């Protein structure tokens, strides 16, 4: 079975189309909608369409719905989506196929906008983390971006709780030796609704960069202050 996890908050307009595409991904699937903080009937629409609905009266915050859905999932492959982006079943199937063929973490190859003169902080964070993890081949691909899919083994190794912080989950997967591959490239930047900014700041970008710092902190705790990179036997203590 394939579990398709869709966190949703006030997405009644897009949700029917999102769930229609999700239903065509695999013949044996369940769709779990984590309806949190919704006041527009999102949960009722999802239930009427046939999804399993987990309801929370208050907003859970960014990415927490992934954890909730993963904890409820029964499938051997878990596909993560967002309710605010309509992605065709044809673009979603490669992620599920990759996991069912032995990949543990099937990533979206979309790295963000990379053609600008000044790189976006989130793009820099994703590239930097993959370089630190000795996976420069992943470029800026990350569990931060949907769609992506996990095997049941990956969920057990990473743990559902860490899915609240996608870069940390990504880091644990790499360090623990899980099979991480790019399964398909879906240009979500062109279909992701424009986020509301406060002045010149972007709260979501700040959150995602902070999540990457959490991942770096874990890596240093796990592999030493240089994150597993050699100091080439410098005798630092001999010099005062």
Helix (H, G, I), strand (E, B) or coil at 223: helix
d(CA 25, CA 66): 19
- The DSSP bridge partners found for residue 56 are 36
Burial class (CB in 10 A: 0-12, 13-18, 19+), 221: exposed
Residue-range domain boundaries for the chain:
2-229
pLDDT for res 240: 64
Q: Give pLDDT, residue 226.
A: 78
Which pLDDT value is given to residue 225?
81
The whole-number pLDDT of residue 115 equals 64
pLDDT recorded at residue 199: 47
Residue written as tokens 């700041």? Answer: 201
Res 203: pLDDT: 86
* CA neighbours closer than 13 Å in the CB half-sphere of residue 100: 14
Q: What is the pTM of this model?
A: 0.92
Task: Look up residue 193 and give its DSSP letter.
Answer: P
Give the model's pLDDT for residue 45. 98
Predicted local distance difference test score (pLDDT) of residue 198: 47
Rounded CA-CA distance 219/172 in Å is 8
pLDDT of residue 121: 92
For the record, the structure tokens of 220 come out as 């240093």
- For the chain, what is the largest distance between any 2 Cα atoms, rounded to a whole number of angstroms? 71
Q: pLDDT value at position 190?
A: 83
What CATH number labels 2-229?
Answer: 3.90.550.10
Per-residue confidence of the chain (240 residues) as pLDDT tens digits?
999 999 999 999 999 999 999 999 999 999 999 999 999 999 999 999 999 999 999 999 999 999 999 999 999 999 999 999 999 999 999 999 999 999 999 999 998 776 666 778 999 999 999 999 999 999 999 999 999 999 999 999 999 999 999 999 999 999 999 999 999 999 998 887 755 444 456 888 999 999 999 999 999 999 888 777 777 777 777 776
Angstrom distance (rounded) from CA 104 to CA 149: 8
Say what the pLDDT of residue 55 is: 98
Q: How far apart are CA 212 and CA 58, in angstroms?
A: 26
């Amino acid at each position: 079975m394939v579990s398709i996890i869709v966190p949703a908050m006030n997405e009644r307009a897009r949700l029917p189309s999102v769930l229609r595409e999700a239903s065509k991904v695999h013949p044996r699937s369940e769709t779990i909608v984590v309806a949190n903080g919704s006041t527009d009937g999102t949960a009722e629409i999802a239930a009427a369409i046939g999804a399993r609905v987990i309801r929370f009266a208050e907003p859970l915050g960014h990415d927490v719905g992934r954890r909730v859905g993963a904890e409820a999932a029964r499938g051997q492959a878990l596909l993560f989506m967002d309710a605010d982006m309509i992605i065709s079943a044809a673009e979603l199937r490669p992620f599920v196929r990759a996991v069912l063929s032995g990949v543990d973490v099937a990533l979206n190859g979309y790295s963000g906008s990379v053609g600008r003169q000044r790189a976006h902080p989130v793009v820099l964070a994703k590239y930097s983390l993959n370089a630190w993890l000795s996976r420069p081949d992943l470029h800026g691909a990350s569990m931060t971006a949907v769609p992506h899919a996990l095997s049941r083994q990956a969920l057990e190794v990473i743990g559902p709780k860490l899915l609240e912080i996608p870069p940390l989950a990504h880091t644990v997967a790499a360090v623990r030796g899980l099979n991480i591959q790019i399964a398909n490239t879906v240009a979500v930047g062109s279909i992701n609704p424009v986020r509301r900014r406060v002045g010149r700041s972007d709260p979501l970008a700040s959150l995602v960069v902070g999540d990457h710092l959490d991942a770096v902190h874990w890596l240093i705790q796990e592999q030493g202050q240089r994150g597993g990179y050699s100091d080439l036997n410098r005798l630092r203590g001999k010099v005062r």
